[in-house]
Amino acid sequence: MKDKGDYLPQGFGSREAYDGREVATNMVSTTKATIHPNHKQPSAGMNQLIPVEAEPYEFEFVPSRCALLIIDMQRDFLERSGFGEMLGNDVSQLRRTIEPNRKLLHAWRSAGLQVMHTREGHRPDLADLPPAKKKRGRGASTIGDPGPMGRILVRGEAGHDIIPELYPLPGEPVIDKPGKGAFFATDLHAILQNRGIDRLIVTGVTTEVCVNTTVREANDRGYDCLVLEDCVGSYFPEFQEMGLKMIKAQGGIFGWVSISDKLLAALEKHG
Ligand code: TIU
């Protein structure tokens, strides 16, 4: 029987239905093509160059060649009484990004565009955890220890998973990364290249750590990145401000900065 996956746009690869747990294995299927009902084929407008008002100047992108990359929107970083809050951080600074991300994610999926998610975390045996990362911070509890939602930043634990509001749909790649940057020791670059992606809309947490590191890695690999101010968050307001300034400084040394409403308006106008 033919299913919707048979109509995937060229170059998009195929998508296979799997449950949330299996997403954690970081695999991209190339076998059976099925697609979630929320996904649709991008319209002709999604193959055009679209301008978005941004800083330091207009960001231009072809939607079908641009992925929404949502960084580390994990329960342990964002939820009340998670690991982040346990360390004394103000999670409300991150939680304000949930609603704009939810809205953007809905629009991106509805337009049939590509979405990818990342999670920071380690193997249960911690074989991929550098001793320096384990020791750093000198906290009473560190990565791999029992935390409020299972072992801290360990794959398969509840706290490591993505918040329900932004949960990946079947077929959306989830990149499990051991570092701060999403390109280090992952297959993200290969997936983007295989799918013909040359631009990224980057959202998630935290602005100065995993978002900034990922944008810098992407920049060095030749991607143009647009970071959305309302969709990225830091526990520290001054780092939020400076983290964004660093990206757009010097004529866009690492990329562009805008807000989600401007991107959504551009999609609406041209899509
Ligand atoms: N995802 C991410 O940014 N990981 C961090 O450890 N961030 C902090 O701000 N600590």
Measured from the CB, is residue 153 less than 6 Å from ligand 1?
Answer: no
Atom 4, ligand 1: which residue's CA is nearest?
Answer: 210
Q: What tokens does 246 get?
A: 């660093």
210 noted as active-site residue: yes
pLDDT in tens, 240-265: 999 999 999 999 999 999 999 999 99
Q: d(Cα 209, Cα 2) in Å, to the nearest integer?
A: 44
pLDDT in tens, 116-137: 999 999 999 999 999 999 999 7
Report the C-alpha dihedral over residues 58, 59, 61, 63, rounded to 10 degrees. Answer: -100
Residue 260, φ and ψ in degrees, nearest 5? -65, -35
Instruction: Output the CA–CA distances (angstroms, integers) from residue 255 to 4, 7, 76, 245, in the order listed.
Output: 35, 33, 28, 10
176 noted as active-site residue: no
Q: For 167-181, give one letter per residue: b (16+ CB within 10 A) or e.
A: ebbbbbbbbbbbbbb
Q: Nearest-CA neighbor of 79 among 158, 146, 176, 189?
A: 158
Identify the bridge partners of residue 66 per DSSP, sorted by sequence position.
Answer: 199
225 noted as active-site residue: no
* 105 has a pLDDT exceeding 80: yes
Q: Which atom number of ligand 1 is nearest to the Cα of residue 234?
A: 9
Q: d(Cα 232, Cα 56) in Å, to the nearest integer?
A: 18
pTM for the model stands at: 0.87
Q: What tokens does 113 get?
A: 């565009």
Kindly give the distance from the C-alpha atom of residue 2 to the centroid of ligand 1, in angstroms, as a whole number.
43
Measured from the CB, is residue 205 less than 6 Å from ligand 1?
Answer: yes
